[in-house]
Chains A and B, each alone.
Chain A
Amino acid sequence: MSQPLLSIDNLHVRFARSEDEVYAVNGISFDVYENEALGIVGESGSGKSVTLMSSIGLLRENGKISSGTAHFQGKDLLKLKPRQLEDIRGRDIGVIFQDPMTSLNPIMRIGDQIMEAMLTHRYASRKEAFERTLQLMHEIGIPDPKSRFKNYPHEFSGGMRQRIMIAIALACEPQLLIADEPTTALDVTVQMQILALLQDLRRKRGMSVVMVTHDFGVATNFCDKIIVMYGGQIMEMARTDQFIRRTAHPYSIGLKRSIIEVGHRGKEILPIPGASKALTEEPVGCPFAARCSFATERCFQETPALRIYGEDHHIACHHAEEVARHAV
């Protein structure tokens, strides 16, 4: 296979709190290839957003990258100066966030906000940027771009605002789009429209997407590859079809069982016992061990390495084979 576009290797991130430290990301490695959509799934606090935000320098002030590399186009993003990162963010790597209601500048016309993305990076002249803005607005499905150019964010619905955020992120034609829970704040019907739009834009551009979500449905629908994270570590990583057919990690299986499906009235919903909590100590053993029904002594002492489980399928579990036998 060719060179990966983004390659994160052994990333560790910690957050300093007033009296202790939180181990948010503990040794994450994965690659994103060109024209690939990767979905990172996990519950709140599993470190999925932090992984990506820290690699593009958007870590909160109390966060610290203690080790690891994040290579993008041959450069280690973690070693770049803030100014150099500014040049890459929004230019080569676009980002969209969860909440389109609060992410736009409320007192700037939306057309200007889309143009701004291009002007900041000197991607286009003022005139070209204006033309391109109209074209982008048309492309993301805002009717009558010329007149809506002058609208302010509060004059748009949530779905429309997320479309605008997408236009801003795509303004400079980035090779990689990071989508941090892009549909979480939206109605279900609108979610699907936004996903379809993203899928369409991605295909047309051959752009890579990393999507962070807690929604399995969204991830498996949209992505070629799925990563399941827990406690700041990768539990399972697989091609989507493999993942759906042979879900192997007890945590992934648990997540799948706890999904409520329309029309499955009789289906038993099995929540995973216990709760995930912030890791305030250097993690030892499998982070999921305390909630896992298959856990043995070994799981509490030895951190399972991410190993090959099948074709395009990796898993970090000591007992994957046994789990597979039971789960059937």
Chain B
Amino acid sequence: MAGTVAAARSDALNQKIKNRHRSSWYQGWKRFKRNRLAVVGLVWVVLFFLAGIIGPWVAPYDYRVGDFLAINQGPSWQHIFGTDNVGHDMFSQILYSVRSALIIALGATLVSFVIGVILGLWAGLRGGLADVIIMRGVDFMMTLPGFLFALILVVLLGRGYWSLILAIGIPGWAGYARLIRSLVLGMRNGEMVEAATALGASQAHIARRYMLPNVVGSMAVSLAFGIPGDLAQIAGLSIFGMGLQPPIPSFGNMLAAAGDNILGFPWLLYFPAGIFAITLLAFLFVADGLQEAFSPKGGN
């Protein structure tokens, strides 16, 4: 009798556990959803990406063609964000800008990330002299103002998409390398790796199956923080006249142009600057949410 009760109880318990068993990714997503700001940020980021992808098709006007009969107009039904001094529709300009901003920011982040991961893994796994050299390189990069470095690279490489991606991406590797190295070092002497070694797994196998998957979460978080940083850098370069060549619309170019007319035609500043600022915030909220959801310390 008692046996059947116990059996029934353990059956019920198993059922409960079965319904609950989900990967840590799923758990992370559940934690992410609880963070309202992060979800709002994510919605904005998704819209931003959407605008980047389909923007040129839904933009009401061509970014190259100005309407000379409607220059410097305030917001209206024809031009909801107004027009600039050659009659470009600001809304269309912004839609196009999203695309260029995203291409460069994602490209640059990817460049930094790939260099950083390779060097960080190398330093962490190999140790010894490789570690010393790479980490002194990291220190060196950290002491340089990244923006100035990027500015110099743009001057050397030119103002195209590729050169901007490289100019912003190359100086950014140090942070990623340092993060990966510290994660790898932490694990290399940890129990999990010891247990895997005791199981007879080879070093390469451990790096691939045990270490890499366990740093993906932290890397995703650092990537999420990296993108808005690079977005801001692009705009900064444009404001200095070192961004994309002007007929190509970009947030930086718009802001730089708007600065000249800030008193007469403030909407030229308000709309691009506002949208840009909200976008940066949204990215940061998402990154924050990811960190909370996936960082080892935040787990329950």
- A interface, CB within 8 angstroms of B: 56, 58, 60, 83, 86-91, 95, 97, 99, 102-108, 116-117, 120-121, 143-144, 147-148, 150-152, 154-155, 165, 168-169
* B196 A147 Cβ-Cβ under 8 A: no
B34 contact set on A, CB distance < 8 A: none
* B195 A103 Cβ-Cβ under 8 A: yes
Q: Choose the segment among B15-23, B80-88, B113-121, B273-281 that binds chain A (4+ C-beta atoms closer than 8 Å).
A: B15-23
* B21 A165 Cβ-Cβ under 8 A: no
A107-B209 Cα distance, complex, nearest whole Å:
10
* A102 B190 Cβ-Cβ under 8 A: yes
Q: Choose the segment among B172-180, B198-206, B228-236, B263-271 that binds chain A (4+ C-beta atoms closer than 8 Å).
A: B198-206
Contact with A along B6-24 (1 / 0, CB 8 A): 0000100010011011111
A sample of 19 cross-chain residue pairs with beta-carbon separation below 8 angstroms, ordered by A number, consists of A90-B198, A90-B200, A95-B199, A99-B191, A102-B192, A103-B194, A105-B210, A105-B213, A107-B214, A108-B213, A116-B209, A143-B14, A147-B18, A148-B14, A148-B21, A151-B17, A152-B22, A155-B17, A165-B195
A86 contact set on B, CB distance < 8 A: 200-202
* A154 B21 Cβ-Cβ under 8 A: no
B199 contact set on A, CB distance < 8 A: 89-90, 95, 116-117, 120, 168-169
> Is there a chain A Cβ closer than 8 Å to B245's Cβ?
no
* B194 A58 Cβ-Cβ under 8 A: yes
Given A102-B190, A144-B14, A97 and B23 touching (CB < 8 A)?
Answer: no
A151-B198 Cα distance, complex, nearest whole Å:
23
Given A58-B198, A87-B200, A120-B201, A103 and B24 touching (CB < 8 A)?
Answer: no
B196 contact set on A, CB distance < 8 A: 105
If over half of B's interface residues share one DSSP class (helix, strand or loop), that class is named, otherwise mixed; here it is helix
* A104 B200 Cβ-Cβ under 8 A: no
Given A58-B197, A91-B200, A105 and B191 touching (CB < 8 A)?
Answer: no
Q: Whole-angstrom distance from the CB of A4 to the nearest CB of chain B? A: 22
* A89 B200 Cβ-Cβ under 8 A: yes
Q: Whole-angstrom distance from the CB of A214 to the nearest CB of chain B? A: 18
- B interface, CB within 8 angstroms of A: 10, 14, 17-18, 20-24, 189-192, 194-202, 205, 209-210, 213-214, 299
A151 contact set on B, CB distance < 8 A: 17, 21
Given A89-B199, A91-B200, A105-B214, A150 and B205 touching (CB < 8 A)?
Answer: no
Given A58-B197, A88-B200, A97-B198, A103 and B192 touching (CB < 8 A)?
Answer: yes
| Count of CB-CB pairs between chains A and B under 8 Å | 89
* A120 B198 Cβ-Cβ under 8 A: no
A95 contact set on B, CB distance < 8 A: 195, 198-199
A88-B10 Cα distance, complex, nearest whole Å:
39
A155-B27 Cα distance, complex, nearest whole Å:
11
B192 contact set on A, CB distance < 8 A: 102-106
* A97 B201 Cβ-Cβ under 8 A: no
Q: Quick one: closest B residue to A150, CB to CB?
A: B21
A88-B199 Cα distance, complex, nearest whole Å:
9
A58 contact set on B, CB distance < 8 A: 194, 197-198
Q: Quick one: closest A residue to B300, CB to CB?
A: A154
* A152 B214 Cβ-Cβ under 8 A: no
B22 contact set on A, CB distance < 8 A: 152
Given A102-B192, A107-B214, A56 and B198 touching (CB < 8 A)?
Answer: yes
B189 contact set on A, CB distance < 8 A: 60
Q: Whole-angstrom distance from the CB of B6 to the nearest CB of chain A? A: 12
A97 contact set on B, CB distance < 8 A: 191, 194-195, 198
B20 contact set on A, CB distance < 8 A: 155
* B214 A103 Cβ-Cβ under 8 A: no
A83 contact set on B, CB distance < 8 A: 202
Contacts A89-B199, A103-B192, A108-B209 supplied; 14 other A-B pairs, CB < 8 Å: A86-B200, A89-B198, A90-B199, A97-B191, A103-B194, A104-B192, A105-B209, A105-B214, A121-B200, A143-B14, A144-B14, A148-B21, A152-B22, A155-B21
* B214 A106 Cβ-Cβ under 8 A: yes
Q: Whole-angstrom distance from the CB of B196 to the nearest CB of chain A? A: 7
A91 contact set on B, CB distance < 8 A: 200
Q: Whole-angstrom distance from the CB of B287 to the nearest CB of chain A? A: 21
* B194 A107 Cβ-Cβ under 8 A: no
